[in-house]
Structure 1
Amino acid sequence: MPNSTSPNASTAIELVVLDMAGTTVTDDGLVLESFDAAATAVGLADAGPERDAARRYVLDTMGQSKIEVFRALFGTEDRAQAANRAFESAYDARIDDGVSPVPGAAQAITKLRESGITVVLTTGFSVPTQNRIIDALGWRDLPDAFLAPGSAGRGRPHPDLVLSAALLAEVTDISSVAVVGDTSSDILSGRRAGASLLVGVLSGAHSEDQLREAGATHVLDSVADLPPIVLP
């Protein structure tokens, strides 16, 4: 397990905000596969510099709201919405056989909740896609709540999802919040919200260097390693 800094012993964590895809959920490259379907749907060439640049942008912005990514890539709202519809259709069609829990994720969430910590799962997907993933995994009762862009403000790297979770959990102080994710956007959103623990995991999109550069206080191999970092 990569080295990490020690947690602040004076801060009792009351809330853990966990990313889904790449952090608690693995989808075996389904995001990029679905992006390719979306890019094709709005007329992007199947191969060449433009497609390569778009794929790189998708990788760099993993964790962000998908509609915002498509707005940045495709210029007009009509194209962005068409790409988003194609993306979600392609992703949803593969959820049942392409999505599975990160080993140990459910056990880690259960241990945190049994210790009195509120756990909220967040995503860059839409609410319907998030719900499809939750139901496919049988996770409806696993965390305390689920949040997605739109229903809980702007997506990452804005702080809205973390702040919405903090309001929902009625934390005593924003420093009692831990944010966990596999992308720079996860870490940046937590930092902007004021969370004291910013935990990167190496089970998803971004490297340790990218996570550290974004401000991660800890970097772990997996969310399964999280409870000892959070619990007193």
Structure 2
Amino acid sequence: MTGAPIPRLGWPPDEDRVEEIFQRLAAIMPEPKTELTFQNPYTLVVAVALSAQATDVSVNKATDKLFKVADTPEAMLALGEAGLIPYIASIGLYRGKAKNVIALSRIVLEQHGGVVPLNRTDLQALPGVGRKTASVVLNELGIEPAIAVDTHVFRVSHRLGLANAATTDKVEDQLHAVVPADWLPKAHHWLILHGRYTCTARKPNCAGCVISDLCPSRMALAV
């Protein structure tokens, strides 16, 4: 809406505007999900850990073959670090990730009976699993309405005026403060997917954006 007044860019944002943003995102993406391929909580943890500084597409290409031979902690440990590396060598930082995947698999097997612990404290204690990874897992499995702030969420949140903090942890806190409770369980995915396919870093598609008239940054982005 070219002629619509530009919303103010400030924090906290107007509650009605935030509600409308998520209503519209929900209308075009009613059931948003992670684009990572996984079969169970263990493979989800592994996939998310592998996705750090890598695209979901590249991770899925690797895990498509990997999870056919190792989709449990036992099978991954049997594969070993040397056996794992060829499967994930196309992913950035693969050596460190291979070390972490084997280490977390051992902990899951030895300390948790082979079952991934689905609480934040134990998840974040696993090698290679930080707050963001734990948030993705807990959100995807419907355990906690967490918001993992990656580069897409950080960018979109700032452009929409949903957050203005300088760190991911503080942006996460701000989002939890302003996103209505009904939208929290899926807010993580809506913001990521909107940033990945519409509100991109270099050339955002403002003309094709369903919330452009609600975006305080739209005039600057359109230049």
With a CA cutoff of 8 Å and minimum separation of 6, indicate the structure with the bigger relative contact order. 1
* Structure with greater helix percent: 2
Report the TM range for the smaller structure's normalisation: under 0.3
Name the TM-score, length of structure 1 as normaliser.
Answer: 0.27
Higher CA-based Rg: 2
TM-score scaled by length of structure 2: 0.28
